[in-house]
Amino acid sequence: MSRIGKKPVELPGGVTANVSGQTVEVKGPKGTRVFTATDDVTITLDGNLITVTPRGNSKRARQQWGMTRTQIANCVTGVTQGFRKELEINGIGYRAQMQGKVLKLSLGLSHDVNFEVPDSVTVTVPKATEITVEGIDQQVVGEVAAKIREWRKPEPYKGKGIKYKDEYIFRKEGKKK
């Protein structure tokens, strides 16, 4: 039995949901999200509560139960608060700046990296060594942050590179004389 799936998703004030078959459309102050569930679950809307129930006792139906409830809860969170990933750049001469919809990264390569920012997310650079990725879709925000981080992952000796703000970099000891 799914403990997550049993809990209904509560809609806060200012958020409306529309359930039609397997599709849930959630509208809020930050935008609109649409999620389509598989045929293994049933989605019902009672007032301001969305409940998910499995259609049978198969393993797949039980798997989809908790996952569907979590996806709907993420849609509600996205249209109310949004999602945010913060990145830090460490290293001498490493910096970032926004030019329109292009993030320019100077990462010690022979050229600057021009990262095209998708329309569904907002990337800001409060300082030259900090990047903030914000949006209403958690998966897209995480994917954009991971693609930016991929250009120069933090190395274990000095910690140079792009890392998440709350990430711990395991440090190695350098070469001994």
Beta strands in 21-77 (DSSP E): 23-28, 31-36, 41-46, 49-54
| Residues in the chain, total | 177
Q: Do residues 129 and 76 touch, judged by C-beta distance below 8 A?
A: no
Residue of 153, 171, 169, 170 whose CA lies nearest to 161 = 153
Full set of structural domains in the chain with CATH: 3-80 (3.90.930.12), 83-164 (3.90.930.12)
Give the pLDDT band (50/70/90) at residue 175: confident
| SS3 label, residue 177 | coil
More confident residue, 74 or 1: 74
Residue 26 β-bridge partners: 17, 33
Residue located via tokens 């999200």: 33
Query: Is the per-residue pLDDT at 155 higher than 60?
Result: yes
Burial (0-12, 13-18, 19+ Cβ within 10 Å), 140: middle
Residue-level pLDDT at 2: 61
Q: What is the pLDDT of residue 115?
A: 94
Rounded to two decimals, the pTM is 0.87
By the 8 A CB rule, do 136 and 33 touch?
Answer: yes
